[in-house]
Each structure stands twice: as C-alpha cells, then as structure tokens.
Structure 1
Amino acid sequence: MFPLKDAEMGAFTFFASALPHDVCGSNGLPLTPNSIKILGRFQILKTITHPRLCQYVDISRGKHERLVVVAEHCERSLEDLLRERKPVSCSTVLCIAFEVLQGLQYMNKHGIVHRALSPHNILLDRKGHIKLAKFGLYHMTAHGDDVDFPIGYPSYLAPEVIAQGIFKTTDHMPSKKPLPSGPKSDVWSLGIILFELCVGRKLFQSLDISERLKFLLTLDCVDDTLIVLAEEHGCLDIIKELPETVIDLLNKCLTFHPSKRPTPDQLMKDKVFSEVSPLYTPFTKPASLFSSSLRCADLTLPEDISQLCKDINNDYLAERSIEEVYYLWCLAGGDLEKELVNKEIIRSKPPICTLPNFLFEDGESFGQGRDRSSLLDDTTVTLSLCQLRNRLKDVGGEAFYPLLEDDNNELSAAATLPLIIREKDTEYQLNRIILFDRLLKAYPYKKNQIWKEARVDIPPLMRGLTWAALLGVEGAIHAKYDAIDKDTPIPTDRQIEVDIPRCHQYDELLSSPEGHAKFRRVLKAWVVSHPDLVYWQGLDSLCAPFLYLNFNNEALAYACMSAFIPKYLYNFFLKDNSHVIQEYLTVFSQMIAFHDPELSNHLNEIGFIPDLYAIPWFLTMFTHVFPLHKIFHLWDTLLLGNSSFPFCIGVAILQQLRDRLLANGFNECILLFSDLPEIDIERCVRESINLFCWTPKSATYRQHAQPPKPSSDSSGGRSSAPYFSAECPDPPKTDLSRESIPLNDLKSEVSPRISAEDLIDLCELTVTGHFKTPSKKTKSSKPKLLVVDIRNSEDFIRGHISGSINIPFSAAFTAEGELTQGPYTAMLQNFKGKVIVIVGHVAKHTAEFAAHLVKMKYPRICILDGGINKIKPTGLLTIPSPQI
C-alpha cells in the first residue's frame, strides 16, 4: 500500500443483478448472490498497487444487492481539461498517453482490462500525474455478467466491443459465448480521448447514442480513421498541424481492426515515446515481508540526512497507507452509506412508490416506471477526513514514529479497558497499528518484541501478519506454495468439495466463489505437501481463519496453517489417529479433574465424557464451535501459548457452563452441547490464562505431542522463560522428565502426573553444580505447593523432600472414604486450592490417593511421575537431624 500523501478517498455505488429466490444450483444449495460474487472478485484488486492506478481499499455490501466501493480518489480529471475547450499541448498529450499506458500495462500483467476508460475516469493528482480510476469494474462484475448495466461508455468503446453488443454469458450457449474484451479495446478508448485532448472538445456531442454506435461501426470501410473522425467533427485543420509523433500515436490507437492494433505493452515500446520514456523511472513493487528478496535492496538515503527530519506540513496521517487511514476513518465514525445519502447518490423511496405496475381491462397501466437505480451512477463521492483529523488532533508526531528500543513506552489509558472497546478506540488503534507495522517490518529481528506486544493485544488490521510472525513463518513462501501441484485430481477432492460450502458460509468473503476456489487450493496444497497425513473433516474449519486474514495471499495462509498444525495438532491428521485423539481426551479429562474436581466428578457420574463433545473442539481448535470474530480473539492468545493451552480453553468453556452442567443429567447435557450457548470469549481467554498459569508444564505431557526442538542454551535444555508463562515453549526432554506410560494406565488415573523437574522448580530449589539444592527462603516467601508423601513413616524418615508432609497410604482414609483425622489434616485443608503433589513409591497407591482427594473436591491434585525413586538420584532428599 502506498502512503495517502495528497490523495483523497472516494466512494461510488452500484447494484448487482438480483437472482430469483426459488432457484438452486447443481449442488442443491441456493444460488450465490451476484453481490457476493463481486465482493469475492474485488479482493484481488486491493493488491494491484501502482503510481498510475487509484488504489482500491474496500467494498461493502448493503441491502438489495447494493455495493459500495472505496478507492483512492482525485478531484481533477481529464474531463476538466476538456471543459476548458482548448487544445492540449502535444508534449502534454504524449506524457498523458505514456502515463495512461503505464497503468494499462500494469493492469494487463495482472489479467485486468479497464473497458471503462473515459476522461472522467482518468484522474490527475496534485502534481498533474495520471491515476486511472474504476479500472476494476469490468473484472469484479465478471465482464458485466453480474450487473444490469453495460461496462463502458458508448463514445469510447472500441468497434469490436460495439459489434459484439450487450450480452450476459448466461444468455449464450457455451459454444457461442463471446470473448471478453482484451487490452486492445482500451487502446482504442485511449486514442479517442487523446484525439479529444488534441482538438480541445468532446466528440459525438451532436449525435445520440445509437447514431454514435452506427458511425463507429462504419469506420470499417475507411482507410484513415483519424482523417474521417477529424472531417466529421470539423477539426481537420487542427489535426494536420499536429507533430508527426502525435499523428502516428493516434493512428496506431485508432486502428479499426483489433488484430492490427497494438497492445499497451507494445505501444509503450514504440518510437513515438522515445523522448518521453526516459523521463520516467520503471516501477518496481517493494519486496513483501515473506520472500527471498531483500526488503532493503532499493533503500536510498539523501546525501544530507537532516532532510529526513524536516517538518514540511506536519501532516503525519498522510504518511500512513490509505488502508490504515480508511480503517481509522471507520473507527472515527465514518459511514459510507451516510456519505452517499448526503450527496443524494442513495435516495430512499416511500413504500407506495415501490409497488409494481398493474393493468386495467382497458389496457391502462398504473404504478412505477423503470427503476433506474439498477443502472450505474458512477459519481464518486469524496470522503471527508475532517472528523478523523479532529479526532487525532491531540496525537503528537512522536506517536507516528515510536522508538522500538525504548522499553519504557507507556500504553495509553485505553490499555486497561476491555478488548472490544480498545479495538474501537481510534487513538489507541493508531498507536498499535504504527507500532506493529514497524515491528513487522523488522521481522524476524524483532520477533521477541512482537511476541511481547501481542500479549497486550493485536490490532485487527495487523492480525494476519502478526499471526504469521508468532508462528515463525519465514522464507520464500510464495515459491514453495507455487511449486505444489494443486491441479492434478486426487481422491480427497470430492470430500473437500462437499465440506467447503458448509464452512463458515455466514461470512460473505468465504462464501463467495472466489473464496471457495481459494479454500480448495490451500486445502489441496496442504494435503499434497503432507503425504504422511490425510484430510479429515474439520481441516476446512481450521483453514478458515488463516484464509480470511490472508485472502489475497494464499501462500501465507498455507504457510500459517502448515506451521499451526504441527504445533497444536501434531499427528491429529494421521490416517489412524484414534490413539492420538484418545490420549488427548484423557489428558483433557485429567485437566478437568485438576482444575474443577466437583464438575469432573459430576460429569463422570452421568457418563458425559469428553469423547461426546470435545473432539470437534480440539480437532478444529474451536473453529467449528465459534464464529470467526470470536476465533480471532481466542487465537490471539492461543498462539502465544504452547500445545497445552487448548486444554485450558476447553476447561474455561466448561466452567462458563458449570452451573447448567451441574444441574443437569446426561440427556440435558447432550442437548446443551448440540447447540452450544453463547460463550463470553474475553472471559474465556482471561480464565484460560489463569488456568494455564496454575498448570505445571508436565501435567499436560502427551506421548504423541510434537517432539521438542533441540535447545542451544546453556541451561541443560531447560527453557529460560518464566515457569508459568503463556510464551514458554514445550520443554525438551531430560532425565527428570515424564516417562511415557501405556494409554490404559493413563486412563486409569484421575489426576495428572508431573515430572520431577517440575516438582523441583515448584519447590523453589536452585542449581549448585550438576543438581539442584534447596534455596534459602525469606520469612515472607510462601510455598507454591504442598508435597504429600504417602509412604510409611519409616521410609519417610530415611529421606523425604524438604517441606513435605507424611500421610501414610495405609491409614489415610476411613472405610467411608473420608480423610483420616491426623496432625497434618489441617495443613492439607489449608493448602486446598494450591497445587498438591502426591509422592510415593507404588504408582497404584499414589493414583488411588489422588483419586480420593479429587472425590473430596480437592482441586489441583497431581502425582509425581516415577515416585520418590525419581528424586533419589538428585541428592535432594532430606534426612531429619537426630533429636538430642
């Protein structure tokens, strides 16, 4: 996106053709409205950026198939030059022609043809340079198929376009379908416009439309189109006085037969522009964030660095991209429909005026005439930025150029407000957008700072690139994606075709044919590039957030999905994934018991196990459960956590439904989850983080999780991140890590196991030499957990963990299952709510002891994996001093 600079934003509106309501497609589903089709095709236009083209910004869909398009706009156009009724100088004509051709050439490289070229669509910026407007109308309407008006203006249409007539592809048999207009039709339109500039007036003003079209078609019989046009309009003397280069240019543009007419690319290389072309520097598109090209390759600095610091007009907002300015304009109260109503482009009608015609027996008719609102009114309304500038008047210049190395940057007061309010705050979003824009431009060098800022929040406008950075996407992603065969049929194609029309189709973008095609390519690319994995239903839902945020960058959507799945869904898409799913659900059950034993007990008693409701949650990472706007907020935090964070989200969801679940039986719970009630996502995220911070890392250990990446730090492979931190990675395996156990043994245990190294960390032990020894605690320090040693008292005296209490298993519980009263019963009660680790040397006994505590509604109960024997080699067991 280019900076806004001196340009403005404009909006124009039109209607798509209405479809019959009682007709379905070949798949049995209702036909996609034409406005949705146009909206999908429009998106690619936002990526076509060139100095000679007006930048497309946004499109919105209103009632009755109305569409409003927002694009860069300039107040002046060639129409203003023609109103002066003076011939334009030949040098200016050549410059105008060359700049128009630059825009046409760039459009053609992207498969776009203007078709609506006219003086009022060729704009002039404040420096007098050309910008082509409405160049995407022909493309977004499928060459005019999806609207009820013709694309183009009769006076400027090429003869072959006129001869073809107005048609819709649907009105013709496939064998007789006329070809859409090509680049050469724009060259003819340019020739007519240049002719008008040379003679200083418009052509065909004395003829009605039908006579103009007939006259243009008769030019087939003449040898010199230029002379005939000049004679017809009485300006032969002016034409004869033009330089040979201009005559040559007009003759080439106004060649009647398209086979002999040059394309914009060919015309630009013609000798007629030999003196003009050296005045222009060829346009090169800046390298994208994820590419093999150097982003700083074309960076140039002025000889005098002080020139960079000069304040010319202090209009910092104009230095931001037009996309950012429009986004902030909307936040500041901008309303497209209101702007168009104020300019009387949109007019409301009383209901009586919308009644259809009806006929009396004598043939007399009453009712409305033809509704001309379906025709194109190509008036562009300039969007005023006064309200936005007034809103940002107190924002200082330093906010537009934040210092990234300054760790003391304080967030505004809005940072303490709820997320939904922060996302609507204009000043706050301005600060966040600018900060993230600068950090992302420094990616991957500033990856850690991106991570740090993302923990505060992620501005919606920057979410797509920020997610890619959090997932560690790097390299030439486009080359990799392009190299994947997405065309050859594969067995999965049928299932993909069935799933896509059911995936988040409430969203206009994803429900468009363009969205379906992109879905198909990205999903197929993933299946083809992962031959060891298979397509499971739900993969389409998993793809949806990435595709929505990177709709015009399929390679990035694919790269993000390819990085996301191994991190959070490792081996979930194996052909036989039952063992992976079962282990995941078992760990989730243990997490419920760990954080909410009362709820766990109830759900187990009524038989409402996670297998009945949680598989779609985790297989799609909640994208099958929540709409996209909730998924964005949920994944903003999910991407900061490791592979265990989804368990905490699942528990947080259950806790929001806790009262209803506890009050209901099996059948009612099934009905409750068949149509999940409204979930407060912000509360869910907040509680998930709290649950995550209370969960020891190894409590969510899974044998089938992604193996940890080798660490190059000097801490023996241990992560240097804080113990309870949403940014900590999955720890690498050590001698004190958890060991794998058979799935049946895991299912038999109600409470999770934790590793010896987690226990050591939780006991606040410090490293001396190879092992860890107890640290000196201050009087004010409080233990983070309680260790309950269930061995007999003799074994306990021979060596135990410092600070642990001894409750022998053999005498711990009464026949009724109640905890035996003893000297440590009160201490156990005092630690209720904190992490309690059960330690023994018989795994069966520790599991039973933990299960009893869970039955008694003790939360945060876990078992030391490997028992006391795991701690013995460390030398950390304490032997009490003999009593004197």
Structure 2
Amino acid sequence: MRPLRDAQLGAFTFFASALPHDVCGSNGLPLTPNSIKILGRFQILKTFTHPRLCQYVDISRGKHERLVVVAEHYESSLSDFQRQGKTASPEMVLKVAYEVLEGLEFMNKHGMVHRALAPNNVLMDHKGNLKLAKFGLYYMTDRGGDVDFPIGYPSYLAPEVIAQGSFHASDPSNEEAPLPSGPKSDIWSLGVLLFEMCAGRRLLHNIEISERLKFILTLGCMDDIVTVLAEEHGCLDTIKDLPVNVLELLRKCLIFLPSKRPTPAELLGDEVFNEISCLYMPFQKPLSLFSSSLRCAHLELPEDISDLCKEDYLSERAIDEVYYLWCLAGGDLEKELTNQGIIQSKPPLCTLPKFLLEDGESFGQGRDRSFLLDDTTVTLSLCQLRNRLKDVGGEAYYPLLEEEQSSLPQSASSQDLSTTVTLPLIIRERDTEYQLTRIVLFHRLLQAYPYKRDLVWKDARVDIPPLVRGMAWAALLGIEGDIQAKYEGIDKDTPIPTDRQIEVDIPRCHQYDELLSSPQGHVKFRRVLKAWVVSHPDLVYWQGLDSLCAPFLYLNFNNEALAYACMSAFIPKYLYNFFLKDNSHVIQEYLTVFSQMIAFHDPELSNHLNQIGFIPDLYAIPWFLTMFTHVFPLHKIFHLWDTLLLGNSSFPFCIGVAILQQLRDRLLANGFNECILLFSDLPEIDIERCVHESIKLFSWTPKSATYRQHAQPPKTTAVTDGNGFGRPGTYYFSDYQDMPRTDLSREPLALSELKAELSPRISAEDLIDLCELSLAGGGKRTRAGRPKIVAVDVRSAEDFNRGHLSGSVNLPYSSAFGPDGELVQCPGTGVLHSFRGRVIVVISHFASHLVKVNFPRVCMLDGGIIKMRSTGLLTVPSPQI
C-alpha cells in the first residue's frame, strides 16, 4: 500500500440486508449472511493502488449486519467548490475530467464501475490532485443486491440506470436482476458533475426526486442535452461561452443513449485532452515481491532530498500499517462513529416492527431510517497513536540490518523494548511500540529478500508481526520467482473427479472465520486446492488438504498464487508423500517414530498409553495429516506455525509430545474409553506453552533419532545451524536426511522391526559428534556442568575391556537386569540413576528395558558397537601398575 503522507483515515458505515433465519440454501446449510458476502468481496478492493483512487484499508462486521469500511480520506472535495457557487475555469474542468477518467479507466480494467460518482466522492489532496472515494460500494454489495438502499445519487445516475429501477437480491418477487451498470454509466455522472462546475450551481437541486427523475428520462427526446440543461437552469450564456473543447467534452458525456456514449478509455484518448494529457505520466503498477521483474529498476530519489528527512516518520508508513497501529493504540471504529452521531442506539421498544390490524389501523414504528445509507465519512483521529509513539526515536523507522547495529548506543525506548521481548507473545502482539519496530524491521528485511533471507530467519525466531506474517512465511518457505505466471498456467477450470470432494469439504473448513466462510473465500479455496491437485499428478486429494490450505489462504486472501506457492512448498517439507494414493506405509512409519518420541521424552506416559492400547493411530493421524490445522483454530495455528516453519520435518513430533504433556495428568488417570472421549473433544491447549515445550523437546532430541526412510530425499542445499541440538531455544533447520550419507549413518529398518522397538535409534556419526562436543566442553552440558549425553555399554566387562567408546559407562546386562527385564539393584544401577535426565545412548539392543522402568531420553545406537569398530575411536583401559 502507499504511504499515508498527508492523507487521513476515514470510516463510513452501512447495513447489509438481513436474511430470513428459517431458509437454507440448496446444500441444506443456512444462507450466508449478506454482510459476510460483502466482507469477502471487499478484500480485492484493498489491492487497488492508483493515484486517482482512495486506498481501501479494512472492513469490520458488527451486530445486526452492520459493516464499517475504513479507507484513505481527505477533508476537501469538489462539494466544497460547489458550495462556493463559483464557476470553474476551463482548465480546471479539463483537469478534473482527465483525473476522474484515469481513475474510472483503472477500475474498468478490473471489471468494476463506480456508480456512486458525485462531488462529495471526488476528494482532493493538499496538492489539488483528485482521488475517487467509495468507488467499491457498487461492487462489494453485488450491484446493490445485498443492501436495502440504492447505490448512487439520483441527480447523477445515468438514464438507463434510472429506467431499470431498484433491485433487491433477497426479494423473491424479483425473478430477474437488472443488467449491471457499465462503464458508460459513470461517463453520464461525470458529465453532470462537470456541467455543475461550469454552471456554478447544482443540477435540478430544488426539484422533488420524482420530478427530477422524470425530467432526466425525458432528455432522451432532446437533440442537445447540454443546451436543454443550460436553459432549464438559466445558465445558457455561461455554457455557450465555454471553450469548444470543454463544450464538446460535456456533449460527449451527456449522450442519452449508452450505445453512443464513450467509455472512460475512449474518452481519455479523445482529442479534447490533447493539451492536458502530456502533463500526466502513465501509471506504473508497483512490482510485487515475488515476480520475475527487477524490483529496483524504477527506484528514484525524490526531487527534493529534504523529503527523506521529515520528522513525521509515521506519515511515511503504509496506510494499512498506520491503521493497524491505530487499532493497537486503542482505536475503536464503532466508538468513533458513535461519538459523531452516525451510530445511535435505541431502546428495544422503539425498534418494534410496524403491523396492521384487520380494520387497517397500524401500530409500531415506521421504517428505521438508520438502516439506510448515511454516506458521511468520519475522520479517524491519529492523535492518540502519535502520543503513544512520541518517544519512539527516528532510528526505529530506519533500522540497520547489519551486525554493526549491536555496537550502537541504545535509546531509552529501545531499552524498554528489549524488556518487552521477554513478555508473553500475546502481550507483545498488542504492544504498539513493539509492533511498530518489528513491522518496520520485517518490511526492510522482506524488501531485501532473498538477499537478507538469513536475517529473516534470525528475527523470525523472536516473533513474527501479524501484519506481515503472510510474506514472512513465504520467505521462510523459500518462495521465489514469478509465482503468478506459474499459477495462471495451471488449469483450474476443467472438471476433474476430485471436484465433488472439494465441494463437500470447503463448507466445513474453518467456517467460523468470516473471511473463509464468504462465497469469495469458497471460490478461492476451490481454485487453490484444484491448482495443487492438478499440478501434482502423482499425489491425490485427501481430506485434510483443505485444512492445510486454510492458513495460507487466509494470510494471502488477495494473492492466490502466493497461497498456492506456500502450500506447495510446505507439503514436501513436512508431509512428504502423505498424499500418495496409498500412503499407509508413510503414515505408519510416521506414527511409529512419534510413538518412539513419546517414549524418549516421557516413558511413563508412553508405558501407560501402550498398556491401555491407546496408540497414536487413534488420535494423531488428523494432527499430522493437517499439521494440527484440523485441531486448532486459525489464531492458534498462526503462533504454532511461526515456530514450526523454523524447524525441520521432525519438529511436528515435538509439538505432538508437547500436546500430550499438557494432557498428561488426565491421560495417566484414565483408561482407554476415557482417553477416547478426551480426544473426541480436545480440551483447551495453551499454544504458547506448547511452543516453548516443543522447542525444549526439540533441543533434547538427537538429529538422527527421528530418521524416516520415507521422508523427503536430500536437497542440494540446506540452511543449517550446527548448534541446534543441546541449546534450548535454538533451532536446527536442516533435516537429518539432508546430511551426506556415510557408513556411520542410520540404516533403514523394515516397518515391523521399527514398531518392535520402544526407543528411537541414534546414528554412530551423531553419537560421535555429540560425545566429542560434550567431552570438549563445547556447550553440551547441563546447568550443573555435567555432559548432557552419556553412552551406556551393556556388554560384559570382558568385551568392554577389549574396546569401548571413550567416556562410556559399562553396565553389564546380566548384572543390571533380571530375567523379566526389570532393573535390579547392583553398583552399576546406582550410577545409572545418576544419569537420569540426560540423553542415554545404549550401545546394544536393550534400551527398551530402560524405557519400561521409566528412564527418559533413552535411545539405542544404530548398528551397535560393530559400527564403532571401523571408526578407530574405541579405546582399551590402561593396565594397572
């Protein structure tokens, strides 16, 4: 969006038509409220950025089908000029006509018309440039069908619009809707507006509306409408004295028959604008972040370099950003409208409907005028926001992106924000100053993407501002290139067998959300899902794919191509081959590894669940098939995925374990039936706690412990962080599968063999790496200074003395475990209990015995001591002298 600069934020409100409560659609579901339909159509208007159009910012839905629209606003308009009663100069008339036509032509290219063109909707900035307001009202209300008031002003409506009459979509008596207004309707409205400027008076202002409409329709019998209007208003001499080009412009606009009236594009190229058209530069569409064009190709410094040094830094921020901060600073739309008298509350008694008795006597209230359109725009005061940000220094608006920034002295405000980072995420997301600094930083990082991709990863570890979450996720997923061209090249229209299942699933997917439940949301859902199915012929549509799509579509509602690209990058990373036609082997391996992760981190819970037969197959498939989007609402998924996207494909295992640990007490106290009921209606989960626990679990999990042979094959390049394991709060970005394969790597196991093992396996190279780091004191130590990992060799003392891993502990199986696998009392078991809490790597096949006696963080060395013999790292004890 464009910067705020001298603009203001304005809000206006109206009501959508109410629908009957006892009527259902053809699919048997309740009808979608008109306000939600309008909300869905409105979204595309936010993408329209043109110098002649006021930028739409947001729409909110209130009670009783009330909608409040926020848009760019200016106090000055052509109505101010009309009230002065002066006639406009020919130069001004041509300037107004040309700039309005520019805005109309841009709208027409996007399939829209204004229909409400009037002087009060033609605003002027401080430089006198025109901007059209309320241009989306006709489109968002489905040509007026979703509201109880007509779109447009009678004095400015074209004759063909008046002749069609009114139409209401919910009225069953209207079998056919009138034809939609075309671009030529706005040309008539422009002609009336220009005529009023030339005459210095309002057209038919003092005549009743019915007489006014009749008069306009009778103009069809006239040859020269401009002359007739001038005679009617007593300004014939004034009109005749106009220059030829201005008079010709009026006559071309005020042509009664639409077939002979020009369109805005045709009129812009007319010779009447030969002298003025050269003064305007053609509009260039801003380049998107993900495109094939060079984003810096058209960058220019302003003519006055002092424009870069303004002290009003807030005015240089984007309009949507300023509005977002305004809301965080305590802004309330309905309160602002109530203070201005636009919203008025009435006692229930005064809102009773009107009814008639048999004798014709009527009781109750007449039609409530408040439900009609009040086109008053209320200016939203930014004083509260500016006061809130007055202590934020200018350096916060222009942060340095390199490491040198750490050596700079910090201002008092930045020091305060450093303490804010430690607060809970929900508080940080509502802190105005903190969000400002984070949004500005991410905007700069994303503008430099992909060059600054590493810094995006680094700052995303702290948190991701909700306002830029969609783009930040795309950067984390590595989206690049001309995604729009690729998306447009996919056939999304030809019917396929999956269409029926998609149609059934969409009306059930996150329909509590107003945006996704709108008809526009359903259309976009359908297109993105179908694009994915068509572009992945080796995969199939499984139920749950719609839930996976929902977060990406919500964040990129106006950019289907980006939603599709993110989804296409997300699925191979976290759900590789989950959508095969026969995915049973992939799912079973995934659930088995998850079961081993439960045993690794919480053996007591794992033993209990296995004892009662409550296996992950009964509850975890929807978790992982949808990456928890089927389980949690969107606002929780956003916080969860902010962290998930920073981890590798094994991070979901840690999320699953973290969820179980929040339910741990109830699970341990219940049997099979109670656990089934518990998961049929999952209790409230603290997502922030879940995220923190997941990171902690992830930092304790060796890389190779989550190895899966059906995971994504190695990539040629990977973003790695070698310090991932052992440092809580640090992420390990690369998958174990991305590491080069050696003789010491984990070997794939048959599914039956994998299921027979309670604890996970760890590769020999992983063990060597971790042991070397811990022995060298390289950070892999507990708070008490002890190594986090210990190797336990359960061979006999004789075999141990022939060669063992340096630092390993010998605990012969025959002396430590009884015939039934129970741990018996011996000198070695006392040592073993001192290792509780550390990662215990058993160099044999007896790790399951430790799991059964509730030892946490137990894993088994893949290949045993045999693999270690080829490394040359085995040692023998020194002889005793």
| TM interval, short-chain normalised | over 0.9
* Matched residue, 2:833: 829
1:432 aligns with 2:438: yes
1:707 aligns with 2:705: no
* Matched residue, 2:814: 810
* Matched residue, 2:741: 734
Residues of 2 paired with 1:352 and 1:646: CA distance?
56
* Matched residue, 1:189: 189
**Residue number among 671, 674, 678 corresponding to 1:665 in the alignment:** 671
Note the C-alpha offset of 1:786.
1.3
Residues of 2 paired with 1:174 and 1:14: CA distance?
23
Q: Is the 8 A contact 1:159 1:256 kept in 2?
A: yes
Aligned letter for 1:119? P
Deviation per CA, 1:670-697: give whole Å up to 9, x if none: 0000000000000000000000000001
Identity value in percent: 75
**Residue number among 322, 325, 338 corresponding to 1:325 in the alignment:** 322
Q: Is the 8 A contact 2:722 2:732 kept in 1?
A: no
**Residue number among 769, 787, 791 corresponding to 1:761 in the alignment:** 769
* Matched residue, 2:210: 210
* Matched residue, 2:399: 402
* Matched residue, 2:280: 280
Q: Is the 8 A contact 2:16 2:147 kept in 1?
A: yes
Note the C-alpha offset of 1:798.
1.2
Note the C-alpha offset of 1:712.
8.6
Aligned letter for 1:257? L
* Matched residue, 1:698: 704
User: What is the root-mean-square deviation of aligned Cα atoms in Å?
Assistant: 1.8
* Matched residue, 2:692: 686
Aligned letter for 1:258? P
* Matched residue, 1:771: none
Give the 5 Å matches for 1:253-652: 253-301=253-301, 307=305, 311-312=309-310, 314-360=311-357, 362-406=359-403, 408-409=405-406, 411-652=417-658
Residues of 2 paired with 1:791 and 1:740: CA distance?
24
Q: Is the 8 A contact 2:698 2:725 kept in 1?
A: no
* Matched residue, 2:849: 852
Deviation per CA, 1:424-479: give whole Å up to 9, x if none: 00000000000000000000000000000000000000100000000000000000
Question: Which stretch of the first structure deviates more once superposed, 124-133 or 174-183?
Answer: 174-183
Q: Is the 8 A contact 2:19 2:170 kept in 1?
A: no
Q: Is the 8 A contact 2:815 2:826 kept in 1?
A: no
Q: Counterpart of 2:589 in 1: which secondary structure?
A: helix
The answer for unaligned runs of 5 or more in structure 1 is 767-773, 841-845
Deviation per CA, 1:212-270: give whole Å up to 9, x if none: 11111111111111111111111100000000010111011111111111110111111
Question: Which stretch of the first structure deviates more once superposed, 377-386 or 798-807?
Answer: 798-807
Deviation per CA, 1:54-113: give whole Å up to 9, x if none: 000000000000000000000011000000001011101100110001111111111110
Note the C-alpha offset of 1:820.
3.1
Residues of 1 paired with 2:518 and 2:732: CA distance?
37
Aligned letter for 1:2? R
C-alpha spacing 1:481/1:776, structure 2 compared with 1 (3 Å): closer
Question: Which stretch of the first structure deviates more once superposed, 728-737 or 699-708?
Answer: 728-737
* Matched residue, 2:32: 32
Note the C-alpha offset of 1:408.
4.4
Residues of 1 paired with 2:689 and 2:858: CA distance?
25
Q: Is the 8 A contact 2:85 2:200 kept in 1?
A: yes
Q: Counterpart of 2:695 in 1: which secondary structure?
A: helix
Deviation per CA, 1:633-687: give whole Å up to 9, x if none: 0000000000000000000000000000000000000000000000000000000
Q: How many residues align?
A: 863
C-alpha spacing 1:8/1:458, structure 2 compared with 1 (3 Å): same
Q: Counterpart of 1:111 in 2: which secondary structure?
A: coil
Note the C-alpha offset of 1:174.
10
Residues of 2 paired with 1:699 and 1:10: CA distance?
56
Note the C-alpha offset of 1:816.
5.3
Note the C-alpha offset of 1:124.
0.8
C-alpha spacing 1:229/1:193, structure 2 compared with 1 (3 Å): same
Give the 5 Å matches for 1:158-169: 158-169=158-169
Q: Is the 8 A contact 1:721 1:728 kept in 2?
A: no
Residues of 1 paired with 2:862 and 2:255: CA distance?
85
Deviation per CA, 1:841-869: give whole Å up to 9, x if none: xxxxx1xx211111111000000001111
* Matched residue, 1:157: 157
Taking structure 2 as the reference length, the TM-score comes to 0.96
* Matched residue, 2:18: 18
* Matched residue, 1:769: none
Note the C-alpha offset of 1:784.
2.1
Residues of 2 paired with 1:181 and 1:538: CA distance?
41
Residues of 2 paired with 1:722 and 1:673: CA distance?
32
Q: Is the 8 A contact 2:54 2:73 kept in 1?
A: yes
1:62 aligns with 2:62: yes
Q: Is the 8 A contact 2:199 2:235 kept in 1?
A: yes
The answer for unaligned runs of 5 or more in structure 2 is 407-413
Note the C-alpha offset of 1:719.
6.2
Residues of 2 paired with 1:678 and 1:131: CA distance?
48
* Matched residue, 1:770: none
Residues of 1 paired with 2:211 and 2:353: CA distance?
33
Q: Is the 8 A contact 1:113 1:139 kept in 2?
A: yes
Residues of 2 paired with 1:645 and 1:258: CA distance?
63
Aligned letter for 1:193? L
Question: Which stretch of the first structure deviates more once superposed, 743-752 or 373-382?
Answer: 373-382
* Matched residue, 2:409: none
* Matched residue, 2:410: none
Q: Is the 8 A contact 1:53 1:132 kept in 2?
A: yes
Note the C-alpha offset of 1:805.
1.3
Aligned letter for 1:369? G
Aligned letter for 1:564? F
* Matched residue, 1:843: none
Note the C-alpha offset of 1:362.
4.7
Residues of 1 paired with 2:383 and 2:321: CA distance?
16
Note the C-alpha offset of 1:756.
0.8
Note the C-alpha offset of 1:122.
0.5
Aligned letter for 1:878? T
Residues of 1 paired with 2:380 and 2:2: CA distance?
18
Question: Which stretch of the first structure deviates more once superposed, 104-113 or 648-657?
Answer: 104-113
Residues of 2 paired with 1:748 and 1:19: CA distance?
59
Note the C-alpha offset of 1:357.
2.6
Deviation per CA, 1:737-757: give whole Å up to 9, x if none: 111010000000000001111
Taking structure 1 as the reference length, the TM-score comes to 0.95
Q: Is the 8 A contact 1:76 1:124 kept in 2?
A: yes
* Matched residue, 1:747: 755
C-alpha spacing 1:567/1:380, structure 2 compared with 1 (3 Å): same
Deviation per CA, 1:562-616: give whole Å up to 9, x if none: 0000000000000000000000000000000000000001000100000000000
Q: Is the 8 A contact 2:622 2:630 kept in 1?
A: yes
Give the 5 Å matches for 1:168-183: 168-169=168-169, 176-183=176-183
C-alpha spacing 1:711/1:720, structure 2 compared with 1 (3 Å): farther
Residues of 2 paired with 1:46 and 1:196: CA distance?
31
